[in-house]
Amino acid sequence: MLSNSVIVEDMETSAPRTARERARAELTQEIKTTAKRHLGEQGASSLSLRAVARELGMASSAVYRYFPSRDMLLTALIVDAYDSLGAAAEIADAAERRGDLSGRWMSVCKRVREWAIENPHEYALIFGSPVPGYIAPPDTSDPATRTSVVFLGILAGVETVRVADSSGGSTSPELGADLDRIVALGDESITRPMMMEGLAAWMQVFGMISFELFGHLNTVISDYEVHYRQQCASLAVRLALTDSAADLC
Amino acid sequence: MLSNSVIVEDMETSAPRTARERARAELTQEIKTTAKRHLGEQGASSLSLRAVARELGMASSAVYRYFPSRDMLLTALIVDAYDSLGAAAEIADAAERRGDLSGRWMSVCKRVREWAIENPHEYALIFGSPVPGYIAPPDTSDPATRTSVVFLGILAGVETVRVADSSGGSTSPELGADLDRIVALGDESITRPMMMEGLAAWMQVFGMISFELFGHLNTVISDYEVHYRQQCASLAVRLALTDSAADLC
DNA sequence: TGTACATCAGTGAACGCGCGTTCACTGATGTAC
DNA sequence: TGTACATCAGTGAACGCGCGTTCACTGATGTAC
């Protein structure tokens, strides 16, 4: 997975030999950076090529030398966002001792929220409402999985026997197959009940971040950070990453 | 809370004596209905008054007899969406025996997801990325709480002693005050650990629905309904609404 | 090292389009006597 | 019941605006000999 991302970055940033190539790489980046800023002021669906060009002091038609259409620019932003979040999660995970599962979990959770707060518009771009009429091309799905692979890696270290089966034994065959398929992604042996808990935790994490960023808790919670940390610590216990949440807060 | 919503509906639908008043009420509703449909095709930020008018076969300027501006129309849609979801949750809750806490929980969870699937654009409107540049007026916040009040009502029935404190004892004073404030909303005695679990469950529920609707699990889960039901059953156990998830699935 | 040609970035005008909002107006509906 | 006036819904033209995209062009950068 890591090697995969390196390849992507290679194509974008490395080996700009001639001045022309260097200039092109730089302007491509500048256009994306400006467009990212505009996302916040206008929202994804009304991102304007002309406005971006105007801010960069160039003719609107010049942007077409870099992106063949507005939708392609949007796609580039989405891919970048997934990649940026994925890289942040990978780094946070790698900073902890491999055996310290709860430490890795807390570190990744913390970093994901930080990333969202630092890049609210990009977070909204990938986790908010889909841009209507826009259909993500297949090349977006690969960087999208980076973050969840990190998460699966942490789960894989758990003695999954310790997670009880709370399904009541009535899992549908279809859902069972789904769970097995996710497990196979990580190439590890995770039990189905464990996978259900993992999915639940994952969705709760993004639910919490979305609620915070989209303002659904504005009049409810004031100390978002402490709340988030405690909830993540509870999740660590539930996922059997540790015995006690006390030392995580 | 219920009486409040009745008042709102009274103002909108009741007592249209003259033909003029009846026509006005009907057209107001028609405009909103058409606008709702357009939400899906274009997204909230590019909802077009002119397009709505065109579809209704009237001059674009005529819409201004009903809504003073595009933003006011958007506000009306948001208020309607919150109210509609809140009403659905209240009805689902009321259909179950008061003492059957896990039944009420499962019923409300099921109905909330159904509502989201039936009204994906309205769901995205209130739980997706905020419409940029649009600032919700204060009158939107009241209907927004309807759904959570239903949820608090269920929590209030639990012997909260049964929910263990997983915070490790290090709650910040600020967060503690936040939790107490939420508890006070429902005018019931819910312990802080219980409230934390309640928030977690609530956000997981909306995280699951958002992931499903926004397509983040498209290649991951195929049997959304079973997955959702099982996760909600697990949550019921965790919230001490029941002892076993088995009879809920 | 110098010249001739090819490649490419960027320009500016133009296309057709849709938008929100305003305004003076017409004609229908409601009300007071 | 009938008339005179007030209220209001809806019209259509106009305002100024921004949008995505195309196209023929100029001039700079790169390359082959």
Of B132, B223, B245, Cβ closest to residue A43: B132
Read off the pLDDT of residues B234-247 as tens digits, 9 standing for 90 and up.
Answer: 999 999 999 888 77
B168 confidence band (pLDDT: 50, 70, 90) = low
10 Å CB burial of residue A70 (0-12, 13-18, 19+) is: middle
For residue A19, what are its two tokens?
A: 């001045």
Alpha-carbon distance of B214 to B19, in angstroms, equals 43
Global pTM reads 0.91
Chain A residues with beta carbon closer than 8 angstroms to that of B149: none
> Binning pLDDT at 50, 70 and 90, where does residue B6 land?
very low
Closest Cα of chain B to A22: distance in Å? 35
| Residue A16: φ, ψ to 5° | -85, 90
Write out residues whose CB is closer than 7 A to strand C: A 20, 23-24, 27, 57-62, 65-66; B 18-21, 47-51, 54, 60-61, 64, 69-71
Tally the C-alpha atoms within 13 A of residue B86's C-alpha that lie toward its C-beta: 25
Rounded to an integer, what distance in angstroms lies between the CA atom of residue A91 and that of residue A108?
Answer: 8
Q: Does A16 touch chain B (CB under 8 A)?
A: no
Residue of B nearest to A127 (CA): B214
- Give pLDDT, residue B95: 98
Does A3 reach chain B within 8 Å, measured CB to CB?
no
Mean pLDDT of all residues in A80-101: 97
In angstroms, the Cα distances linking A244 to A79, A235, B171, B215 are 38, 11, 15, 35
Burial environment of residue A158 by CB neighbours within 10 A (0 to 12, 13 to 18, 19 or more)? buried
Q: Which residue of A has its CA nearest to B122?
A: A129
Confidence at residue B31, expressed as pLDDT on a 0 to 100 scale = 97
- Tens-place pLDDT, residues B10-31: 344 445 578 899 999 999 999 9
Residue-wise pLDDT tens digits, B175-225? 999 998 988 877 677 889 999 999 999 999 999 999 999 999 988 999 999
Count of A–B CB contacts within 8 Å? 189
Q: What is the mean pLDDT of chain A?
A: 87
Question: How far apart, in whole angstroms, are the C-alpha atoms of residue B54 and residue B27?
Answer: 14
Window B:159-198, CB contacts with A under 8 Å = 166-172, 174-175, 177-178, 181-182, 196-197
Q: Do A168 and B44 touch (CB under 8 A)?
A: no
Q: How far is CA A68 from CA A29, A62, B230, in A?
A: 15, 10, 45
Q: Which two tokens stand for residue A55?
A: 């801010």
Q: 122-141 in A: which are within 8 Å (CB) of B?
A: 124-125, 127-133, 141
- How high is the mean pLDDT of chain B? 87
Interface residue B70 vs chain A (CB under 8 A): no
Give Rg (Cα) of chain A. Answer: 21
Give the pLDDT band of residue B5 (cuts 50, 70, 90): very low
* CA-based nearest residue to A123, from A78, A160, A165, A61: A78
Query: Which nucleotides of strand D come closer than 7 angstroms to any CB of the protein?
Result: 8-14, 18-24, 29-31
Provide the pLDDT for residue B131.
78
- pLDDT tens-digit series, residues A16-72: 578 899 999 999 999 999 999 998 777 888 899 999 999 999 999 999 999 999 999
pLDDT one-digit tens code per residue, B112-154 = 999 999 999 999 999 998 877 677 777 777 888 999 999 999 9
- Checking if the pLDDT of A7 tops 70, the result is no
